[in-house]
Structure 1
Amino acid sequence: MSGLVVRGSTDDWEQEVARGKLTFYSNAFRVDSVYRHVTRRGTSDFKGQEFTLSGLLYGRSVQVGVVLKPPVTFTRTFSQGVTTDTGDRQEVQTLRGEDRMRLPWRGWIGMVLQPRSDLRLGIAYELRPYGSARYTDAQGNTSRPWTSANLLRVASKWRRPPGCVCGVDCGARPKCSCPRAHLLRTTRSPARSTAPASGSYRRASVSIWLTNTPT
């Protein structure tokens, strides 16, 4: 189990500039000049705690991992000074409030299979149900502005073991134990030996990611 504690503050600055107003009619349109500047300055304080539960199961030829994240709420407390300038007058007001974001259960599960010593197959599925996440503004209005997504990962890895130093195919054994190779290693010096001391691995891997995002 692991935990994440969020504590911090930011400086907020936002500016809105209105340059004109466009009005459409049945067969014409009109453009009116509008002067309006809105500037928001302030600070925001964030807080929240998130926990993660994880586990890993080992076997001779299989590995299974699970990660779960319980629901969590992040809260922001803000204070802003809003200045509105329309050219002929200027208004200044102060806004204070608190909004929050509630995230649902999230999870991930993965499995690795090793049917042979030189081959590995992996699959992982991640659940991101952000469509049920809720945002509550300072007035208490609740909305769900995000979309859920599910991510599937499939991968494979093949690794060819090193060959035999004496030219005989040794299969999947990492070291050659044939009599001729042993004779070469014991009777020839490293400087004059023409037999290679070890082989090299050859690797190949393939990964596929699939994302399912409801519309």
Structure 2
Amino acid sequence: VLVRLSDFKSNEYRELLGGRIFEPNEENPMIAWRGASRYLDENFKPAFEMELEAMASVRHDFGLDNLQLMVPFCRSPEEGEAVKHLLNEHNVGPDSNVPLFVMVELPSNVIDADNFIEKMELFGGSIGSNDLVQTVYAVSRDDLEGYQHPVDARSPAVKSMIRDAVRKFTESGLEIGICGQAPSDHPDEFPAFLIDCGISSISVTPDTVMAVRISIAEAEANLKS
């Protein structure tokens, strides 16, 4: 069971009762205080430690040793390493044999993948195609609909990032999948591209499972022919 750790943004927390008292009113929360950066902030760290206590209970009290954790929106290998140390302190990190994954959704995750893998002692990664599109093109997901020249994961720049990410993780002997919308939004073409890259797993929405399975089967048959 792979659990992605919390990745709520300030605008989402602000909608909670009392949230506006504690949360900043950020201009662009999609690329601001979220993911790993929250875990290490002294104001948010106590809340994150409650999350880790729950994960530790699942692993150690209930004995569910198939638990795996994934760190989202991690900007640098050093930030990832600091989060890893925090997980180890709560007995849910690599030191406790809990496999650790990272979301691959920033250009830095791809370009500096080797250092992320080493410093975080990663077991694998998962490509977040939605956030990767916005960070490659510097356009917020919240603003994409109004953008004059729409972009998505099929663009050459994003596909190049995905191919590089799969190659680097695979060459390190690690798993890497995708959990963004791209395979579900474009089931006739995108799964075939992912299979050609050598991806380990593909996540899709329930309504596109059959279409994507057919696309994957055809792509794998073409590779064998």
Greater strand share, structure number: 1
Greater helix share, structure number: 2
Instruction: Work out whether the TM-score is over 0.5.
Output: no
TM-score where L is the length of structure 2: 0.24
